[in-house]
Amino acid sequence: MPAAENALREGAARRIERPVPRKAASSTKTRRPLGLLFSCEERRLRLHHVVEAQDFNRGMLEELFSTARVMEKVVEDGGSKLLDGCIMASLFYEESTRTRFSFETAMLRLGGSVISTENARQFSSVSKGETLEDTIRIMNGYADVIVMRHYESGAARRAADISRVPIVNAGDGTGQHPTQAFLDLYTIEKELGGIDNLTIAVVGDLANGRTVRSLCYLLAKYRNVRVYMVAPEVVRMREDIKDYLSRHDVRWTEESDLREVVGEVDVLYQTRIQKERFGDRSEDYLSARGVYVVDRELLKTLRKNAIVMHPLPRVDEITVDVDGDPRAAYFRQAQNGVFIRMALLAGCLGRDLVPATVSSSTPINGHTS
């Protein structure tokens, strides 16, 4: 058996290897808690719903990243049967390329199965008027985990409130995209060796970009991080994120000129202006599009050891001649999504991941979380 799979299965004798069969729901049954379950004693990642990025503390993030590193080896070894017999429902009400395919790839790499709809808004009973809650209740009888993208902010929490099986938020309107933020941080750690003491510029559509919202929630878990928010006036970062960062002692500054700060940053996190969020406000969209473009000229002032990231898809905010620069990390970033999502699925489905060799008092990246 490959070494990576040995690492995944170690300790399995102490726990049931397959998910316990679900019993029919009743009005007196205690609902499973919304959010996360994490055993500090065993240092193993155990999840239920993955709805909001801020539900994860630093110890959980470190364990997630440790598990993702094991998953990289699993992929190198040709996959695993860790989730054999488990079914993932891919329920997407909005378009997706990277998130949907990487989740489905992650499940298949671990030996599980996938049932999916690529446009649930049109090709499911929601087009007949079925509520989200009814759809989730039905899907509970078909799948062991539901990965859901929805056009309404807060939809993932609504689903989690009534679901017995884990709900994984794959993006809910302009709300959050926690699994993207996990892979973003994982990429930063891999590329730069850590996250503490970094300066990060988030650029573009900060009002509508759910990825930057989730990323900011997670950056607050780290020490001495500085955030530059660079956006056109019509798509500035919303106040709730600014307030959250301030409450968690994260230094942040709003800037209008990217050229003024690009030489100071370790991470340049570019995003597209999201045309689909503007509705009939075409003038606002046109005023925001194209304001900030990462091109080879801008790279001349970017630090040699900095990285350029983007959640993708891009339109014209990063020119293609940047792709060959070693600091362009966005395609490596997308690949990391498979490993992070493999780790999340294994955690949601209750499978033992890595040996429990770290005590709850062990420092994480040099200090206790």
Question: Cα dihedral sign for 210, 216, 219, 221?
Answer: negative
Same domain for 186 and 171: no
Q: Are strands 199-203 and 167-172 parallel, antiparallel or unpaired?
A: unpaired
Report the number of distinct structural domains present in the chain. Answer: 2
pLDDT at 38: 35
Does pLDDT of 367 surpass 70?
Answer: no
Q: What are phi and psi of 47, to 5 degrees?
A: -120, 155
Residue 357 inside a domain? The answer is no
284-305 confidence digits (pLDDT tens)? 666 567 678 999 999 999 999 9
Same domain? 186 vs 241: yes
My answer on whether 172 and 291 are in the same domain is no
If you average pLDDT over residues 228-256, what whole number do you get? 93
The CA distance from 354 to 340, in Å, is: 14
The residue range of the domain holding 186 is: 178-333
For the cut 60, the answer to whether the pLDDT of residue 36 exceeds it is no
90 three-state secondary structure: strand
Catalytic residue check, 99 = yes
155, 261: one domain: no
Q: Is residue 121 part of a domain?
A: yes
**Residues 164 and 212 grouped into a single domain:** no
- Taking the chain, what is the end-to-end CA distance rounded to the nearest angstrom? 34
- Residue 177 among the catalytic residues: yes
Q: Is 361 a domain residue?
A: no
Residues 52 and 90 in one domain: yes
Q: Is 200 helix (H, G, I), strand (E, B) or coil?
A: strand
pLDDT over threshold 90, residue 255: yes
Residue 315 inside a domain? The answer is yes
Do the domain assignments include residue 198?
Answer: yes
Same domain as 326, residue 182? yes
Q: Same structural domain for residues 71 and 206?
A: no
Active site residue 149: yes
Selecting among 69, 73, 98, 242, the annotated active-site residue is 98
Half-sphere exposure of 332 (CA within 13 A, CB side): 17
From 109, 177, 190, 272, the catalytic residue: 177
Whether residue 365 is contained in a domain is answered as no
Q: Are residues 47 and 85 in the same domain?
A: yes
Active-site choice (58, 149, 226, 341) = 149
134, 187: one domain: no
Q: Average pLDDT of 235-261?
A: 94
178-192 helix and 98-109 helix, angle to the nearest 10 degrees:
80
Q: Which entry of 14, 23, 128, 247 is annotated as an active-site residue?
A: 128
Q: What is the pTM of this model?
A: 0.81
State the Cα–Cα distance between residues 17 and 9, nearest whole angstrom. Answer: 9
**Residue 359 within any structural domain of the chain:** no
Q: What is the pLDDT of residues 118-170, one digit of tens each?
A: 765 554 555 557 899 999 999 999 999 999 999 999 999 999 999 999 999 99
CA distances to 89, 91, 146, 258, 329 from 120, rounded to whole Å, are 12, 6, 13, 38, 32
Instruction: Identify whether residues 133 and 194 lie together within a single domain.
Output: no
Q: Is residue 131 part of a domain?
A: yes
Looking at the structure, tell me whether residues 128 and 142 fall in a common domain: yes
Q: Tell me the two tokens of residue 236.
A: 């500035």
| Residue linked to tokens 């409450």 | 247
Active-site hit among 9, 44, 49, 99: 99
Task: Select from 271, 192, 181, 197 the least CA-distant residue to 235.
Answer: 271
Average pLDDT over residues 44-63: 89
More confident: 100 or 13? 100
4-13, 18-27, 43-52, 245-254, range with the lowest pLDDT: 18-27
322: domain CATH number? 3.40.50.1370
